[in-house]
Each structure stands twice: as C-alpha cells, then as structure tokens.
Copies of this chain bind each other. A is one copy, B any other.
C-alpha cells in the first residue's frame, strides 16, 4: 500500500521531512501559506548535511480545500496555531487517516483527539537542527532523527508504514512504545532553556556560563522529571545531568521560543509550560519553578501584544 501524505505547515520541519519523503518517491502534498507562489514556481529547496536537493514540481496548495484526502497528515507548524487544526484537517482526512503532530510540548494529541474524534492521532518528536532561510528554502545543519508514538488506539499500521517510509527515505525513524514518556523527556531540556532564554534575553551558552542559571536549569529539569514521574512516566533523574552535559558542549544557541520572541511571533507557552504544569498539578505535584517561568512568559507575551 502506498500512502498519500499531507504536510500541514511547510516550514523547516515540514519542508525537510515532507521533502525527504517526496524525494524518495512518496506521494506528498504540501499546504503552504506565505511561500505558496514561490514554491509553486521555483520548487522546494533543501540544503542538507546529508546532501542538498530541490523538489520541482511540488504538489503544493494554498488552501486545505484544494488538497486531496490523505492517509497520513504530518502537522509541522507551531502549536500556537493548533486551534486551527480541526478546520484545516477537515477536507484532507478520511475515517482512517492518521494525523501525526510533529511539534513541541504536551497535551496536543489529547486535544486533537477530542476535537477530531474520527481520526487516529500520533505524535512525532524531531531531533534536528534545521531552519528556514528563505521562501521554500530549508537549511538542515545536523541530526534529523524522528521518534513516532501513537496516541489513539487506532492507527498503528499506518504509523508503522510511515516509520518504514521515513527510513526508506533516509530519515532515521523509531517507534516509541509510550508517547507520553518521550514528550516529557523532550520537555526536560525545552522547559528550562526555551523560557529562560526569553525571560533573560540570552542564549544557552550564557545561561550555562553563569553558575546560578546553570543550577537553576538543572533544578528545573529535576522538577520536570518529578512532574513526569507523578504523571506515570518514570524518567531517569540522571537524564537531567546528561542534558546539562550535552548543553555544555553545544555551540551558543537560541532555542526556538527565543527565535519566536525575537521575531515577535506567538510563543508556545501553552504546550511547553501550561499543559505540563497542569498535568503535574492534577497528579498532585506542583512544578513551582516551571510555573513561575510560565507566569513570566505570559507577562512578556502580554507586553508584546500591547
């Protein structure tokens, strides 16, 4: 069975992962907003450490209404637009479609499964350094691994085939038994470094250089790990130490939320902070420092909006 793929949100992630599938011969349909005209005329360009390529022509669309019904939809936009998903997905999914949220944060599959109850829902976590450098132009600098996990009870076969398709297209892809576990695991790094980089208007290397913020990040990682534990995901506390060591070796880096902040785009506060804080709270654990960072980010967001 050959799957028909849809990509909603053709930025760095959508362009890279969708592009890799299309280049390998899969049937991929891209939804674009601002870059539509450019990609329609000049194609989708991916500069990658694994080899550059240009897709042309691209099956691209400026409206979901124009797209075919797809078996698998990769949602690669920011979670700040997820309230639009029910409307966007309506024309492009059938009763057995699988929607994979390749996004950051927590609680996003739960919400979509409620809003679009007839679809199967999965999550994808991307370990990749890639960014958009121009219209329809992605620069892939490092890594690329994708971890996929099913949220609903249906969709398993589609997800398995999807994983194989990615592997065949040259994207290392794994199936995770437990989506919640890997979502929390990703939060261990995302929670301290995204928010602190925004609130303190800085980059990871500066946060690591200063003893107080390095320790604060470490403590917040432990809070996230305890939050996960209370929610039933038994992360290893040593994972925090490992993440700190990894960050020590990283080149100076502005996390995605910092880039959103600098470009005055909406920040993913809801999925990276609010949902985890609420999940842990409902499980009886108050992530005090994470909640404080959430409040500070909400304040900053309100100042930008005004």
Contacts and interface: CB of A to CB of B under 8 A. Distances in A.
A58 interface: no
| Dominant secondary structure at the A interface | helix
Number of copies: 2
A108 to B, nearest CB: 21
A288, A294, A303, most chain B CB atoms within 10 A:
A288
A200 B289 contact: no
B202 A295 contact: no
B296 A213 contact: yes
A175 interface: no
A213 B299 contact: yes
Contact of A207 (B210, B212, B299): B299
B199 A295 contact: no
Interface in A152-170: none
A292 B291 CA distance: 11
A216 interface: yes
Given A196-B296, A202-B299, A216-B296, 13 more contacts: A199-B199, A199-B200, A200-B296, A200-B299, A200-B303, A211-B298, A212-B295, A212-B296, A213-B295, A216-B292, A288-B288, A289-B292, A292-B293
Interface of A: 196, 199-200, 202, 206-207, 210-213, 215-216, 288-289, 292-296, 298-300, 302-303
